[in-house]
Chain A
Amino acid sequence: MERKVCVFICSGCGISEAFDVSKVEEASKEATPRPAVVKVDPCLCGDDGFLAMSKVIEEEKPTHVVIGACSQRLFQDRFSWNGVFVERVNLREHCAWSHEPQDVGTLELAQDLMRMGIAKCGKAEMPEPHVEEPSETVLVIGGGISGMTAALYAADAGYGVVLVEKDDKLGGFARNIYKTYPSAPPYDKVAENPVSGLIERCETNPRIKVLLGTTIDEISGAPGKFSVKAGGKEFMVGAIVVATGFRPYDIKKLTHLGGGVLPDVVGSDKFEEMLMKGDVRRPSDGREVKKVAFIQCAGSRDKEHLPYCSGTCCLTSLKQANLFVNSGEDKEAYIVYKDIRTPAQHERFYEAMQNDPRIMLAEGTVKGVMKSDGVVRVEVENSPTLTNMQIDADLVVLALGKVPNSDGPILNLTYRKGKELPTLKYGFPDSNFICFPYETERTGIYTCGCVRQPMDMASCMEDAAGAAMKAIQCIYATSRGAAVHPRAWDMSFPEFFLQRCTQCKRCTEECPFGTLDEDAKGTPMPNPTRCRRCGVCMGACPERIVSFKDYSVQIISDMIKAIHVPEEFEEKPRYVGFICENDAYPALDLAGLNHLKYSPLVRFIPVRCLGSVNRVWIADALSRGIDGVLLIGCKFGDDYQCHFIKGSELCNKRMENVQEDLNRLALERERIKLVQLAINDYQKLPQIVNEFVESVNALGMNPYKGF
């Protein structure tokens, strides 16, 4: 279809007070590609303005519409027409509201912003979704509480499930749990273990196929069409849930507490087994145990062992103490702790145990555990002023933390980026994002239960519901060609012009999600359903062969070329700013909302992620006489905020390589600057922008103007 562009400019909300809109209209009329129509309206979002705009669109039937008005974050549903590419140009928050009204700089900025928005329409197209018919089966790896619950939820939702368990029976660690602490009212009594009920339901559910004594040999493919080889069978699944659980911390590493050294010092897992048998006796001499001492945080919250807290050991010890003292006459339990962590309604259970005179709680640090005359002596320091306490017990139980079973092989992916899910801190294949707990680094593969984070059985079951939801959602998104979180609306996908590929492998290496596999030569093999549409591959490619229909190297280059760069003698510097849509763009909006003013010399170009910024854009900008480039994106580093894991970090690294381009052009390195910003930092924006402009102005004009 023939390209046709209609341009609408809103003069409301203070825009006409900030600059002469007729001059912006003029500039738009002369832009490239030449618009068929340019109309100004005092209020495009108002009933009259919107009606007028809709009428023009109905009559003109444009392929592209450019709206110069408020932020693209507003009126998204309103300003959209079926099949029409809409480009929003921010003349309000990023222009009229944040610069001096009636200043020539403000007008020139508005003109350039419109030229850039119109230029985008030169090559941008509406994306055509890459639709696949996905498998409606979910693979669950791990048949413990978490895995079984995820399987049951998925089955209940109408999906087929293959539940793979490496042991010869279902149940996982929970098989060795006698009773559990309460998660339901009245919260004060020990509760039944739900595992046997879950096993029965899984074994009898017609949609769940259980493969026991099985591990995964290989998984290839992508969301919607993972090809799984396991236990001599081969089958397709749409999404995967990893629920491989945990193992207790190795007690033999806790020699300072008698672990692995004294026979009557046992782990909480062993003690649970003893309670289940019903007869608690000392391992050394078989004598009946009358007095138990629990040591909390044994090898947890400890830099030498597990630095994190497993969250469940306090309640577990309280439960075990309760079971123990009720298992016979004259039984006593001591619990030595640093902090008792019984959050929320669990406080009720703690209260009930505190009220039991047979259970004694002592806060303090364990100084030593030693054999002493037929007992085990625990020495506790609980006050800087009093002498240490000594507890003589028949048996000492070390409350052991949870180590995730994340060290493979679990998935055996044939991905170029690796066989297993990357883990975060401490070995947990968790999400880095507090707000998005299921967002792993591999699309379509989710984790739940203790492999994701240490948690109790009730929480495992909740977590499994969450992971099952995400697995189902992924299958649905695949059937529509849509991306999964965070760009859940995005129907575009990257296309590779492989004829020009030089097999440099930058894209296959740098894709944060392992979307690209490689053939023997190193040519990328894209898997569109793995793709999160961030464009990091596009930013990586030195040959510029990667593009999206609505977002490409060429499209942004055209925007840069549309900027009007005054001749050197006019002494009007010009800058380009690449702003990440996730944090930087909204921050600029907030700065505008608060009428914070800054230099009008920077032309901001929104990008999906700083990771999608291609080096050629910098070179293009500089060789045209643009004086400097500012890049504003999300935080990277240990506690990264970048939603595409390494996007902004890669951009930062690439900017160091851009030094070559600068050297070639004999330009100073200070002309490029990358800034990490979060939305709430918006008040810093004027300083950030102004300091950048001032520091580069001091270097003098870019000598390439007018070339």
Chain B
Amino acid sequence: MENIISKKDLVDRIEGLLKDFEIIGPRELPNKGIFYQPIVNAGDLYLGDSFTVEPVKKYFLSPSEYLFKENLEQGAKPVEELPLPGAGRIIIGVRPCEARGLVLLDKIFDAEYKDDFYTSNRKRSVIVGLSCLMPDKTCFCTSMGGSPAENRGMDAILFSAGDGFIVEIITDKGKDIFGALGSDIGKEEKKAWELDKEKRKGALEKRITAPESLDGTFESVYWQKASLACLSCGICTYLCPVCHCFDLVDEERKKLKCYDGCAFVDFTLHASGENPRPTKKERYRQRVFHKFEYFKKNFGENLCVGCGRCIRHCPVKIDIADIVDKAPLTQ
């Protein structure tokens, strides 16, 4: 179901929804970038062409998830679990690549093993997407099986159209918040919208071919050369919509699940002092292989949605797409 609405009607509807829901969406912080934040005034929402620095992942997998607390007081429960989040919330402005990232994360945290925090966060969230009109030069979603106009993992999606938006409602959750808003899309308008979707797909310039398998390249010197410039920081993993490695941390009698990243020197450091990934070569190769080899073997898809964040924000411009594209498969 698709409706056409004006920007003002959309903002008014969101303002109305603020009474009953927590609403999260992109906000522009001058000279800092676009950040997902809780929205207090619907007018603060940024629904323009630029992309958020952090992906929406942090609202499903928290950077520091508080799991339980140890109690040493007499008579108290020795382990106090944190209540699971339950209140309904709406996340607006989620890009198609990020939403598809959630679909990929479902394969890990909502499958054979169910992560209670993740699944509760998934259940309580209504995801309103925002189709991309102007992809960044680092975007390559179409090479990863996605598209700036796809709606996987969303409850509704917005397409900017003139002064307003076309709202495509995908699920009942989406219907509950956006149903009966605006006017039905006409035949001509629908035709134009279909053309617009094709145009959006074609706007992406960066294209790569991810190989079927990287298996034969494991020992190649290529990985050593490709990783020479890597600084071993956490930008690429923390800003990735699908990287999900974590570390368990004890702090002030709390057990926390914190983000961790394979680029860090101590990511696989053992208590004995041994580190099976002692150099950047092993660590960077792991990042690439997890995304384009191991995950694909297990789940049939690349663990990459082509959002371009790791390329855009890498302090030394390491381009994972370029590196995968040029991997020496013939070796």
- Our verdict on whether A and B bind, yes or no, reads no
